[in-house]
Amino acid sequence: MFNAQVDDTGRRGALRRLRFYAALAILVCLFFVTYGAFLAWDSYHRLPHVYAALRARGVPATANLVRCAPGIGIYHGVRCRLSLRFDGRLRTWNYPEDSAQFKGLAVGAEIPVLVDPNNADTVYTRRDVEHRTNAGTSPVFWYGVVLVVLGLAGFAFLLRLRRPTMPKPRWPNRSPG
């Protein structure tokens, strides 16, 4: 009797929002897995090789402390900028490792570093090379592992949400007799 059309815009909007949040959750999980894997790989594989190469053939040089301050680069903690003149070129960069070693040093303080002769962009302080800062199974490695586990747990949770809510019966309905 009634030929009125049902307004389905609310349902479509809810479905669109659900898809958006699902895509966002997948991207967050993917970020955790990717970033965590990078941190773990960097700490466990790349840094030990770099430190070993610098110990074996690193050229001693002296860098200068430009400044230490919160929020240098993308890191929100205290980071430091160093300056180094090597092979006739001046380079200034945000030091990526342990900035606590520069605590109490004045601007312009000399810092002993090792430079890779094959790649002048690879520079680490002598202290970091000797102590293998953040290399191997360091806290940075375990932080990366935790991020990977959280990302994979998030993926597992999202897959679990895709399950039908009503369990299927174990056996098809059987009629007696």
Is residue 71 domain-resident? yes
Tell me, yes or no, whether 85 lies in a domain.
yes
The answer to whether residue 90 sits within a structural domain is yes
Domain count, the chain: 1
Residue with tokens 């056996």: 171
Please compute the mean of the pLDDT values over residues 99-105 and round it to a whole number: 85
Within a domain: residue 174? no
Angle value at C-alpha 28, between 26 and 31, nearest 5 degrees = 110
Residue 80 has a pLDDT of 87
Domain annotation covers residue 5: no
Domain around 93: 15-162
Q: Is the pLDDT of residue 126 over 90?
A: yes
Is 56 in a helix, a strand, or coil? helix
% of the chain exceeding 90 in pLDDT: 43
* Per-residue model confidence as pLDDT tens digits over 76-93: 667 888 999 988 889 898
The answer to whether residue 170 sits within a structural domain is no
Q: How would residue 73 be classed by pLDDT, with cut points 50, 70 and 90?
A: low
110 domain-assigned: yes
pLDDT tens for residues 127-137?
A: 989 989 888 89
Asked if pLDDT for residue 147 goes beyond 90, the answer is yes
| Cβ partners under 8 Å of residue 109, min gap 6 | 64, 65, 102
